[in-house]
Amino acid sequence: MLPVFGHLNPDTDAITSALVYARLLTRQGTEARAYRLGELNFETPYVLREAGLDAPELLPELAAGSRVALVDHNESAQSVPNLADLTVTHVVDHHKLGDLSTAAPAYLRFEPVGCTGTILLKLHREANVSVEPVDAKLMLSAILSDTLHFRSPTTTQADRDAVDFLAPIAGVGDVETYALAMFAAKSDLGDTPAETLLKMDYKVFPFGDVAAPQRWGLGVVETTNPAYVFGRQAELLAAMASAKTQDGLDGILLSVVDILNETNRTLVPGEVEAAVVQAVFGADTTGNVADLGARISRKKQIVPALETHFAL
Ligand SMILES: [Mn+2]
């Protein structure tokens, strides 16, 4: 049984892509099963309920040498702690290539599209495998989630075509209404502890010198209600300071992305971060907040800029 899983602090694409790819592999003769590497965000339970599915189980600890398939990530910092001891047999991903290495030839499918779900649809169609309604619902949801219903600059024509193809199979007549319901679920944060909010969509990236990289924690809260998040600014800044110490980071940022207005105002806890944000994005930090304008994609507009900065 081949375990299939997405990244730590899973988002909707990380969960649904594991489910869809596990089923596709199984239908193609490789028995596979989806797992998750952490707690769900607030959007994914809505999607799973709509699809009539339970969440995948947490990945148990795997023995060295175990075969695994990765979806929606490839960097070790975003995967299981013992990834280097495992045998990666498949990767389907739409992120930049990181430190992935494999002991034996692996099936690798990377495309610069907006969502892993878009690639998974291509895999179905290339293999002439029918797309089941439940899988269509999962892939459709992931694409709407990752691209913020095509608002993100990561969106490609392939993502739009995939949604057009999937919506009727999934039985989603009004894609806009469905996407807004997903975003509303995601924004309904209640009294979630600040530490949880910080880490809900959070990735650690090594930048600069490969031998001695700077490690930055980059969190994102995508919401239709940014005022709620800024109402908890003091708690979040405190959570960022302790995460920075606990995780041994060189810097930490939390971007609050207003989905409907397509803007990014980022929490900046200290002078180190403020100097980098000024140098990289030309943005001043006032009251621990920097206005990063329309840079709403961590993958396309935040990480590459920081990578270039620290490579110099
Ligand atoms: Mn993704």
Cα 287 to averaged position of ligand 1 atoms, centre (Å):
32
**pLDDT exceeds 80 at position 138:** yes
Token pair listed for 121? 């649809």
**pLDDT exceeds 80 at position 35:** yes
**pLDDT exceeds 80 at position 312:** no
pLDDT digits (tens, 9 = 90+) for 81-126: 999 999 999 999 999 999 998 888 999 999 999 999 999 999 999 9
Cα 71 to averaged position of ligand 1 atoms, centre (Å):
8
> Which SS3 state, helix, strand or coil, does residue 70 take?
strand
Token pair listed for 235? 């708690």
Spatial neighbors of 222 by CB under 8 A, at least 6 apart, are 148, 183, 186, 201, 257, 259, 296
Using 50, 70 and 90 to split pLDDT, how confident is the model at 27? very high
pLDDT given for residue 210 in this prediction: 85
Cα 219 to averaged position of ligand 1 atoms, centre (Å):
15
Average pLDDT over residues 72-82: 96
Q: Same topology for domains 2-185 and 194-311, yes or no? A: no
pLDDT digits (tens, 9 = 90+) for 162-207: 999 999 999 999 999 999 999 999 999 989 999 999 999 999 999 9
pLDDT given for residue 288 in this prediction: 98
CATH superfamily of this structure's domain 194-311: DHHA2 domain (3.10.310.20)
pLDDT digits (tens, 9 = 90+) for 217-255: 999 999 999 999 999 999 999 999 999 999 999 999 999
pLDDT given for residue 277 in this prediction: 98
pLDDT given for residue 211 in this prediction: 87
Average pLDDT of every residue of the chain:
96
CATH number of 2-185: 3.90.1640.10
Cα 109 to averaged position of ligand 1 atoms, centre (Å):
13
Cα 25 to averaged position of ligand 1 atoms, centre (Å):
19
Per DSSP, the residues of 182-242 read HHHHHH--TT--HHHHHHTTEEEEEES-SSS-EEEEEEEEEES-HHHHHTTHHHHHHHHHH
pLDDT given for residue 95 in this prediction: 96
Give the C-alpha distances (Å, rounded to integers) separating 295 from 135, 151, 187, 261: 31, 11, 19, 12
Give the C-alpha distances (Å, rounded to integers) separating 15 from 10, 92, 97, 211: 6, 13, 20, 32
Using 50, 70 and 90 to split pLDDT, how confident is the model at 71? very high
pLDDT given for residue 143 in this prediction: 98
Average pLDDT over residues 56-78: 97
Average pLDDT over residues 49-67: 97
Domain boundaries, the chain: 2-185, 194-311
Cα 85 to averaged position of ligand 1 atoms, centre (Å):
24
Average pLDDT over residues 258-281: 97
